[in-house]
Amino acid sequence: MNFNRFILIWLLLGLSKSYAQDSIQSQLDAVKSEITDLKKIEKSHFMIRGFTQFGLDASSEDLSFNMTSFNPIILWRHGDRFLFESELEMEYMSNIFSLNLGYASASYLVTKGLVIKGGKILIPFGTFGEKFHPSWSNKLASAPLGFGHDGMVPMADVGVEVKGGVQVGSAKLSYAAYAVNGPRIKDGTEEPTEAGMLSFENMNDNNRNKAFGARLGILPLQNSSLELGGSVYYALPGSFKSPFAGDPKLKDLNYNNVTALLTALDLCFVKIIQPLSGVLDIKGQYNVSKISNATYFNPSDTARYTFQNNASSYYIQVAFRPSLLDNKVLKNFELVGRYSVYNTPKKSLWESEQSQIQFGLDYWFTWRTVIKVSYQINNGTMGGSGMSSMAGMAGMSANVILFHIATGF
């Protein structure tokens, strides 16, 4: 009797044990498959990212809050090679709201080291516009002189591009070549004081010529810490027809043969410096623009005039962040200084010589959330006449203290 009972208990125990084992096993399997599902890389992937910057600019004349950027970015990847990227730029500065398409392009990785791109692309003329412009990576609250509105540097345009990176021995080459719609020369019919300036902000081309450009960068050191680059950009910015075609006295003024040649040199050195317990970050770009001579018309004194249409600008920025320190607060501070200069053509109605020094102290909460406090000293002399603000200065002429918070999301 006892023996039978023992067998029964043994059987029951055995069964329940295997039942429990089974259920643990099946739970484990379910968890495993969930993990593999999570780990599985989706073939097609859609992502919204972006960045925003908000701040207060205080000068002796003015105190204003500015929403200097709210830029949502849409990324859509299909498979291993196709990427669509687009950025909307919203800005609220000096009481003006503007909405712009920063870029919208499709790129396809053809083979190792060759990407082809089409759409509205960021122009690889130097590095600032394409690589360092987002407000969460720009360590100062504004762009250097010469970039942005009424600047001399093309930032984005509609066209096609081939680009890539290749290893050549211990060095790395970074190349890009593109054809885009190109700029339009301001002929003075709309803004007489800006005659001869290039406008890069047109979605429709004004002629059948495209602008061509290329950049070649070299990273000579094995650890990629240094990059030196050279860029060229060539365009015929005039329209075929004279803008004064209807005016018998001025119809000989024509800009269809005007050529524009822009060149730039850029430098970027970023390296962890162990003895200083931090990262040293040096960036710079030098731009030259040469536009062939043309005759313009000044409606205020009805005289014709000409000038050597050469402009140049540069910036150099040095930053240091003691990110290797153990101190949890100190390691998030970053010191930054930038000097930039923008000289517009002498004897033009937009002649000016501007320089700007900016010192900043940043505090990084995360890798892309930052508070920037900076002091900006602007210097400028204007030649010409009738200009209300200096080209590329965004209306700021006095010294300014800027408090900004920028974040990527």
* Cα separation, 209 vs 9, whole angstroms: 93
Residue with tokens 């004081």: 193
When CB distances to ligand HEC are compared, the closest residue is 131
Nearer to ligand HEC, 87 or 91 (CB): 87
Identified binder of another protein from the candidate list 66, 69, 107, 354, rule CB under 8 A: 107
Identified binder of another protein from the candidate list 55, 69, 71, 85, rule CB under 8 A: 85
Is residue 83 involved in binding another protein (CB under 8 A)? yes
Identified binder of ligand HEC from the candidate list 53, 57, 69, 73, rule CB under 6 A: 73
* Cα separation, 90 vs 68, whole angstroms: 8
Other C-beta atoms lying within 10 Å of the C-beta of residue 309: 24
Beta strands in 244-294 (DSSP E): 260-273, 278-291
Q: Identify the helix (H) or strand (E) that includes residue 65.
A: strand 63-78
Is residue 131 involved in binding ligand HEC (CB under 6 A)? yes
Helices (H) and strands (E) in the chain, counts: 1, 20
Identified binder of another protein from the candidate list 74, 90, 93, 228, rule CB under 8 A: 228
* Nearest residue to 286 (alpha-carbon basis) of 316, 318, 319: 316
Contact characters 355-384, another protein, x per CB under 8 A: ---------x--xx----------------
Rounded least distance, CB 186 to another protein, Å: 25
Residue with tokens 């859509």: 76
* Nearest residue to 264 (alpha-carbon basis) of 126, 154, 148: 126
Return the structure tokens found at 176. 């890009």
Instruction: For the chain, give the longest Cα–Cα distance.
Output: 128
Residues 137-166 that bind ligand HEC (CB under 6 A): none
Rounded least distance, CB 49 to ligand HEC, Å: 4
Please tell me the chain's helix, strand, coil percentages from 3-state DSSP, rounded to the nearest 5: 15, 50, 35
Is residue 35 involved in binding another protein (CB under 8 A)? no
* Cα separation, 165 vs 172, whole angstroms: 7
Is residue 268 involved in binding another protein (CB under 8 A)? yes
Identified binder of another protein from the candidate list 72, 118, 148, 165, rule CB under 8 A: 165
Is residue 170 involved in binding another protein (CB under 8 A)? yes
Rounded to the nearest 5 degrees, what angle is found at the Cα of 57, between the Cα atoms of 52 and 62? 145
Rounded least distance, CB 345 to ligand HEC, Å: 31
The interface partner of residue 338, options being another protein, ligand HEC, none and the CB cut-off 5 to 8 Å by kind, is: none
Is residue 134 involved in binding ligand HEC (CB under 6 A)? yes
On whether the CB atoms of residues 239 and 254 are closer than 8 A, the answer is no
The contact set with another protein (CB under 8 A) reads: 38-39, 41-42, 45, 47, 75, 77, 80-81, 83, 85, 107, 109, 112-113, 115, 117, 130-132, 134, 136-137, 163-172, 174-176, 217-218, 220-225, 227-228, 230, 263, 265, 268, 270, 272, 279, 288, 364, 367-368
Residues contributing to the site for ligand HEC (CB under 6 A) = 49, 73, 75, 87, 131, 134
